[in-house]
Structure 1
Amino acid sequence: MWWHRRWRCWWYMNPYIIYPPYPPYVQVPQQPSPPEQQPSAAPYYPLPPFMPPPPSPEQEIEALEAYRAELEEELRSVEARIKELRESLSKGGGAGK
């Protein structure tokens, strides 16, 4: 039978109104319950990463002075390389170009 779009009935649109998915006379099978067990322990959470205590002010000063010495040595080597490159440019007259 031909139905106009606006003439459709609510029961025609939704078949679950007429045929519910689980009628009351059909029981959904249930899983058998497992035998009683001891309650499980609390879930395992990993320990936070070990954070060492902050260094004492004397230790921090020593570490910073050692770091400054490393930086000064590196700065001297950079300045020496710059000087070397400038000398090679002045002697060679731009031979690299």
Structure 2
Amino acid sequence: MWWPRGWGCWWWYINPYVMYPSYWRVPQPAQPVPGVPYPPPPFLPPPPTPEDEIEALEAYKAELEEELRSVEARIRELRDFIAKRGKEGK
């Protein structure tokens, strides 16, 4: 390839890395250190003793049994209502 003397190397004029230096690999800055330290981990209370856990479970069981009784009573009410309506309709 013919190139005029005194212009320097032709490669420097055609090389896209020289024409567009943004293609060059620029070393990335290291990750910034956070300005504020991480928050402390949340406080986790110690697990309950077995006696406390049994007491809590028994209270929960009593609530569930009461709820079950009310559901069964509502089912009985609805069945009675359906039976009564069936007798009146015939």
- TM-score scaled by structure 2? 0.59
Residue of 62, 70, 74 corresponding to 1:81? 74
Partners of 1:18 and 1:50 lie apart in 2 by 58
Residue of 35, 40, 43 corresponding to 1:50? 43
The percent identity for this pair of structures is 63
Partner of 2:24: none
The alignment covers a number of residue pairs equal to 65
RMSD across aligned C-alpha pairs, in angstroms? Answer: 3.2
Structure 2 residue runs without a partner (length 5+): 1-9, 21-32
- What is the deviation of 1:46? 1.1
Q: Secondary structure at the match of 1:93?
A: helix
Within a 5 Å distance, the mapping from 1:1-97 to structure 2 comes to 16-17=14-15, 20-21=18-19, 43-93=36-86
- What is the deviation of 1:47? 1.4
Partners of 2:35 and 2:62 lie apart in 1 by 52
Partner of 1:35: none
Structure 1 residue runs without a partner (length 5+): 1-10, 23-39
* Segments of 4+ moved more than 3 angstroms: 40-43
